[in-house]
Amino acid sequence: MVSLLEASGLVYKYPAGVLAVDGLDFSLESSELVVVCGPNGSGKSTLLRLLCGLLEPLEGSVSFEGAALSSLGLSERARRISLVPQSLRTLSDVTVENFAMAGRYARIDRWHGPRADDLRAVKSAMVATEVDDLCDRAMSELSGGQRQRAMLARTLASDARVLLVDEPTTGLDPEHQVRVMQLIEAQVSRGRSAVVVTHDLNLASQFATSVMILEEGRVVTRGVPGDVLCSDVLVPVYGEHLHFGTAPDGRPLVIPWATAGRGGN
């Protein structure tokens, strides 16, 4: 069976010659939420950029529904795969609605401008991300949480089937972290698929259908949270400063802990 998004044997080096991704295989199926974790510099963000075609791999290939990504035009790619960057500069007076409309760039006719279906898609994305009441506010006036939701609104407005989300919860308080992840989960339950890069192993535990751990550009392991988020896998990757526990619903909990300890599982 052909995967929705598939990568095989990916190799990528930074211009300085540092190997960022080293022979990595990856696949994403429909309605799957893969959370990619790993230490700093393990190649997580580079992987996202390779998966959406922003970076060209030195070796290996990426395909969308069996078609090589390199054979698709820029607009065709943008209609299928949407990237949510970690942070973004915008023009000072761009409103939330205009910002979200940018997600429709690959679909809007240059000479005609936005049509009814474009306006509907933007409206529905703003409602889904709860920024519809902020539609006339300038992006520069938003709080961190509102800004993150506006960035997700832009991605949802694109109607892309695959969402690639780079550290969406960095800098947010716990309430907003959960709300952002719930938003992504809701989209997955409606038939989209998502790859989320995060350092937060507990959010991965709660929301991922599959967790992938990277180290030095290679896949250490991939599986359901219960199999991956355990000391046997994580301590060799992150080191000893972790404390393991179990949430009330039975999911694993992993907490950074100054004194090395391996409580729980």
Residues that bind other proteins (CB under 8 A): 15, 49, 52, 54, 74-75, 77-79, 82-83, 85, 88-94, 98, 102-103, 105-106, 110-111, 158
CB of 52 to other proteins, least distance (A): 6
Complex with other proteins: residue 15 or 250, whichever CB lies closer: 15
**Chain length of the chain:** 265
- 169, 181 Cβ separation under 8 angstroms: yes
Q: Greatest CA separation found in the chain?
A: 63
Measured from the CB of residue 43, what is the shortest distance to other proteins in angstroms?
A: 17
Query: Token digits for 114?
Result: 């936005």
- Cβ nearer to other proteins, comparing 83 with 253: 83
* Residue 156 to residue 171: CA distance in whole angstroms: 22
Q: Are 165 and 84 in contact (CB under 8 A)?
A: yes
- CB nearer to other proteins: pick between 14 and 171: 14
State in angstroms the smallest separation of the CB of 98 from other proteins: 8
**Residue 129 and residue 15: Cα distance in Å, rounded?**
37
Q: What is the DSSP letter of 128?
A: H
Least distance (Å) between residue 7 CB and other proteins:
17
Phi/psi class of residue 2: alpha, beta or left (left: φ > 0; alpha: ψ in -120 to 50)? beta
- Give 109 or 249: the residue with its C-beta nearer to other proteins: 109
Nearer to other proteins, 3 or 86 (CB): 86
162-166 and 81-84 strand pairing? parallel
- Shortest Å, Cβ 94 to other proteins: 7
Q: Which residue has the tokens 């997700």?
A: 152
